[in-house]
């Protein structure tokens, strides 16, 4: 990263922070060489806005990285106050479209002549976001209408500079805020960095679309737009144009003869299949990203934000769902421990009671209409209170399910999400109880045991070799060692004083018997001095012991 560009971007950040009344954060970044006073007069214009509104406005003005970081935090209603969450959910990744020389840009990026590939190319963008613009075109070879998603030139450098500055900001927040340290902001920034790098790569998005298409290759309920790799790159994505109905447009759906109630259940089924069958799910399924074709097939778009689970993670998630359905709270907690990135629970019995109370609230007849958002908020709050940090896919999944629930309630207000999810829990339970599954898992366990035992002789030999070469080092820590050292030190000090007192007392007594001049009241002065010093030292020991007992 060019230092000059980072410095310029930092100056912009400082300007916005001061403008919206956050100059104290700017001052703590050790950037006094940037002149901030010239922005002070801008504070007044934001006076009527509360602090949460000013945070949202500052993030929007700072650009794509900050907007998306705020959007990620908008799912953490267990960490942030409700008014701030409300503002963060209002963050919009919308900007004014820029005028580009499309033929020149495509010629440079794809090494093509526009007139040879496209019979039509609309120079006006149909959508504009902070990281890309979208154009409509038609392929000459087959007449297929397509959309071209084109990344903004130079956006990578802006994002990289913003990420570096964010790391500086996180360091400042962690230094001055206990809340920032407890929220694991640095870990969240690392997750965000991976996410935004994926979103910046249109090749990654192309691969996600193709993987999604493979997962639903034989589906009669889902349609996935085609990708044209010949006209795509890391900065350009060419894909089939979808002319469908937005899933939230109830009037248009009914006019097409599509039953919203049936569509709501189909959408939930499709999303649960993504999660439980494929372990690869859409991370941002809001109504603007889901369309419906005239034959009622569902189309997802915008695959830059996808959640992905490795097979062991998917299996742990299935276990968690199954144990929750069965009410087996201890096994739920054991599954959580395996799943969590950080699990530092001080009182597992208290955690068990909290999760039990949540499950009772969900299954109780008077609370059947509790939504996913409410359930996830309760779970995330319990996790935070017990210092449990889950992988990024878990929070992405919670957000995705909450969005799907919102769409389901819009399409079918009477839809009971808890009842709709029950068949999936039963399916998992049956799968876990099937002889084939038990046999497979037993075989895996036996293989693990065999491999461990097979490696044992080699591991033992390496240990013995290290011992024989005097290379084995043992690190140990004794709790309370500092207190023990202090106690021994004080005890030795007292013992030394006691020896001195005894010596002085014996010496003084010998002097008295020797009748050594000079004398005071017919007693040698030197012996009197010895007795006085012994008495003072003895008093010191008595006071020290008395204080220790208190």
Which residues form the catalytic set? 284
Catalogue the E-assigned strands of 248-316.
280-282, 290-292, 298-300, 306-308
User: Taking Cα atoms as reference points, which of 279, 275, 266 lies closest to residue 311?
Assistant: 279
> Which of 154, 155, 160 has the alpha carbon at shortest distance from 1?
160
Q: What are phi and psi of 294, to 5 degrees?
A: -55, -25
Which residues, 6+ apart, have CB-to-CB distance to 192 below 8 Å? 68, 69, 72
In contact, 135 and 238? CB cutoff 8 Å:
no
The pairs formed by 69-74 with CB atoms below 8 angstroms and a separation of 24 or more are 69/166, 69/189, 69/192, 72/188, 72/191, 72/192, 72/195, 73/188
Distance CA 477, CA 160 (A): 42
Query: Who contacts 41 (Cβ-Cβ below 8 Å, separation ≥6)?
Result: none
Q: E strands along 195-263, which residues?
A: 236-240, 245-246
Alpha-carbon distances of 324 from 150, 335, 366, rounded to whole Å? 44, 11, 19
DSSP state of 274: I
Evaluate whether 229 touches 236 at the Cβ level (below 8 Å). Answer: no
* E strand spans, 316-371: 342-343
CA distance 461 to 541: 57
């Amino acid at each position: 990263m060019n230092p000059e560009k980072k410095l310029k971007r930092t100056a912009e950040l400082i300007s916005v922070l001061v403008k919206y009344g956050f100059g104290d954060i700017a001052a703590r970044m050790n950037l006094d060489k940037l002149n901030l006073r010239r922005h002070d007069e801008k504070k007044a214009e934001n006076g009527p806005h509360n602090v949460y509104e000013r945070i949202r406005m500052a993030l929007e003005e700072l650009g794509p990285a900050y907007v998306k970081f705020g959007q990620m935090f908008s799912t953490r209603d267990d960490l942030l106050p409700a008014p701030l969450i409300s503002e963060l959910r209002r963050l919009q990744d919308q900007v004014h479209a820029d005028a580009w020389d499309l033929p020149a840009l495509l010629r440079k990026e794809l090494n093509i002549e526009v007139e040879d590939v496209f019979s039509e190319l609309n120079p006006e963008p149909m959508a504009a976001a902070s990281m890309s613009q979208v154009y409509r075109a038609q392929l000459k070879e087959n007449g297929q209408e397509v959309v071209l998603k084109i990344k903004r030139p130079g956006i990578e450098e802006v994002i990289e500079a913003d990420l570096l500055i964010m790391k500086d900001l996180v360091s400042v927040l962690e230094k001055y805020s206990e809340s920032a340290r407890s929220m694991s902001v640095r870990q969240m920034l690392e997750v965000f960095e991976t996410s935004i790098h994926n979103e910046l790569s249109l090749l990654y998005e192309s691969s996600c679309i193709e993987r999604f298409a493979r997962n639903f290759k034989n589906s009669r309920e889902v349609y996935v737009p085609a990708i044209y790799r010949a006209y795509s790159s890391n900065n350009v994505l060419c894909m089939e144009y979808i002319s469908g109905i937005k899933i939230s447009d109830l009037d248009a759906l009914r006019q097409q003869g599509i039953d919203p109630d049936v569509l709501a259940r189909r959408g939930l089924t499709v999303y649960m299949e993504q999660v439980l069958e494929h372990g690869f799910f859409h991370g941002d399924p809001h109504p603007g990203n889901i369309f419906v074709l005239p034959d009622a097939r569902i189309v997802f778009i915008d695959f830059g934000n996808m959640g992905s689970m490795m097979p062991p993670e998917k299996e742990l998630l299935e276990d968690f769902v199954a144990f929750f359905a069965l009410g087996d709270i201890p096994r739920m907690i054991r599954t959580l421990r395996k799943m969590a990135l950080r699990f530092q629970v001080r009182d597992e019995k208290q955690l068990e009671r909290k999760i039990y109370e949540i499950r009772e609230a969900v299954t109780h007849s008077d609370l059947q209409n509790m939504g996913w958002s409410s359930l996830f908020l309760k779970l995330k709050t319990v996790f935070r209170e017990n210092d449990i940090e889950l992988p990024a896919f878990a929070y992405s999944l919670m957000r995705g399910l909450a969005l799907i629930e919102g769409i389901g309630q819009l399409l079918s207000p009477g839809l009971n999400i808890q009842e709709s999810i029950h068949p999936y829990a039963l399916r998992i339970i049956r799968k876990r109880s099937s002889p084939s599954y038990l046999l497979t898992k037993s075989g895996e366990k036996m293989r693990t045991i065999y491999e461990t035992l097979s490696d044992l002789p080699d591991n033992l030999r390496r240990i013995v070799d290290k011992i024989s070469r005097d290379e084995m080092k043992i690190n140990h820590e004794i709790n309370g060692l500092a207190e023990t050292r202090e106690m021994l030190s004080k005890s030795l000090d007292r013992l030394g004083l006691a020896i001195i007192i005894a010596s002085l007392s014996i010496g003084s007594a010998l002097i008295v018997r020797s009748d050594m001049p000079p004398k005071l009241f017919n007693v040698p002065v030197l012996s009197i001095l010895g007795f006085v010093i012994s008495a003072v030292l003895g008093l010191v020991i008595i006071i020290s012991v008395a204080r220790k007992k208190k």
